[in-house]
Amino acid sequence: MTDVSPAQAAPAQPPAGDPFLTMAGTSRMQLSVVESHPVTPNMQRLLLTAPELGDFSYLPGQDMMLLVAGDGDRPVRRRYTIRALDPGRQLLTLDIVRHADGPGERWVRAAAPGVTVQGVGPRGKISPATDTDWHLFIGDESSLAAIFSMAESLPPQASATVILEVPTPADEQQLKAQTSVQLSWLHRDGSPAGEPDALVSAASAVPIPDGRPHAYVLGEARVVSAVREVLQARGLEPGQVSPKAYWGRGKANASRGEPDKDS
C-alpha cells in the first residue's frame, strides 16, 4: 500500500458556503508548487503557478490565503505575503519562515514540485501610504516579504527606514529598493522569536524626521502592540501607524489565518 501524506493527496477544499469561495475583489485558484528551496537558513522560498496569475494584480504588502489541512477534518487558512509575481510566467513567490510546527509549516515541509493548494488573493489592506514624507517599517522575519515588497515599491524620492529582526546574520536578505533606505538588522542569536525587547528598543530610539511619518508594524501580536504603543507615545497619530498581527507566540493562528484577538 502506498503511503499518501495529506499534502500529496487532493488539496484541501473549502466546504460549500464557505466565504473562502466568494471573497469580494479576490481570485480563487489552484496553485501548483514549481520550486521550493531555502533562501536563508530559516526561510523557505516557494514558487507557485496557476493560469489565473497571468492577469492577477496586487498591491505591495498584500498576501495570498492558502487553504491547508488542519488538525481535524476541516482545513484552515494560512496567509503569506506575495514577495513577487511574474504574470508572464504565471509565477508567484512566497517567502515563508520555517518554525517548529503548525498546519502551514507542515504544508511548507511537504510542498515539493507538483503539490497543489487552493489559494485566494489578493488579501490585505496594508500597502505603502501616500501623502507621507517618511516610511518606517518594523517587524520580524515573518514580515520580511511584506516589508521588502513595500520598501522596493517606493519611488526614488521616498524616504524610508527598515528595522527587521531575524534569527541570525545569515537570515538577512538583500533589499533592492529604488530609494535609499536606512536598513537595520537585529539578530536574535538563539533567543526565541516573539519577544518584544529588541524591536521596542529600536522603535524607541529610531530618529523620527520632521514631516508626515507613516509606520508599518508587522509580526508577532504582542510585539506589534508594544511597538505601536511606543510609536504613538513618540507622537505618531493612530492613523499614521498600520499595525498587523501575523502570528501569536505559543498559540496557533485561528482557522481564518490570523491570531485570535486575545493573542
Smallest separation (angstroms) from ligand FAD to the CB of 248:
6
93 binds ligand FAD (CB under 6 A): no
Report how far residue 250's alpha carbon sits from residue 110's, in angstroms, rounded to the nearest whole number.
Answer: 23
The conformation of residue 16, written as its DSSP 8-state character, comes to T
Please enumerate in sequence order all residues whose Cβ is within 8 A of that of 197, keeping only pairs 6 or more positions apart, or say none.
none
Tell me which stretch binds ligand FAD (CB under 6 A): 7-15, 16-24, 142-150, 175-183: 142-150
Smallest separation (angstroms) from ligand FAD to the CB of 133:
26
Q: Euclidean distance between the first and final Cα of the chain, in Å?
A: 42
Handedness of CA 180, 165, 185, 199 (dihedral sign): positive
Smallest separation (angstroms) from ligand FAD to the CB of 229:
20
Other CB atoms within 10 A of residue 87 CB: 12
Q: Which of 11, 60, 104, 243 is in the footprint of ligand FAD by CB under 6 A? A: 104
45 binds ligand FAD (CB under 6 A): no
Tell me which stretch binds ligand FAD (CB under 6 A): 47-55, 79-87, 127-135, 199-207: 79-87
Which CB, 212 or 256, lies closer to ligand FAD? 256
Please name every residue paired with 189 in a beta bridge, in sequence order, or none if there are none. Answer: none
80 binds ligand FAD (CB under 6 A): yes
Q: Which of 45, 63, 181, 199 is in the footprint of ligand FAD by CB under 6 A? A: 63
Give the pairing type, strands 241-247 and 213-220.
parallel
77 binds ligand FAD (CB under 6 A): no
Helix pair angle (221-233, 197-205), 10° resolution: 20
Q: Pull the grid cell for residue 257.
A: 489565518
103 binds ligand FAD (CB under 6 A): yes
Chain centroid offset of residue 132 CA: 23
Tell me which stretch binds ligand FAD (CB under 6 A): 110-118, 175-183, 233-241, 252-260: 252-260
96 binds ligand FAD (CB under 6 A): yes
> Within 192-251, which residues bind ligand FAD (CB under 6 A)?
193, 246-251
The conformation of residue 130, written as its DSSP 8-state character, comes to S
Report how far residue 79's alpha carbon sits from residue 62's, in angstroms, rounded to the nearest whole number.
Answer: 10
97 binds ligand FAD (CB under 6 A): yes
Please name every residue paired with 136 in a beta bridge, in sequence order, or none if there are none. Answer: 161, 215
135 binds ligand FAD (CB under 6 A): no
Q: Pull the grid cell for residue 40.
A: 536563508
Smallest separation (angstroms) from ligand FAD to the CB of 58:
12
Contact residues: ligand FAD, CB under 6 A: 63, 78-81, 95-97, 99-100, 102-105, 124, 142, 145-146, 193, 246-253, 257-258
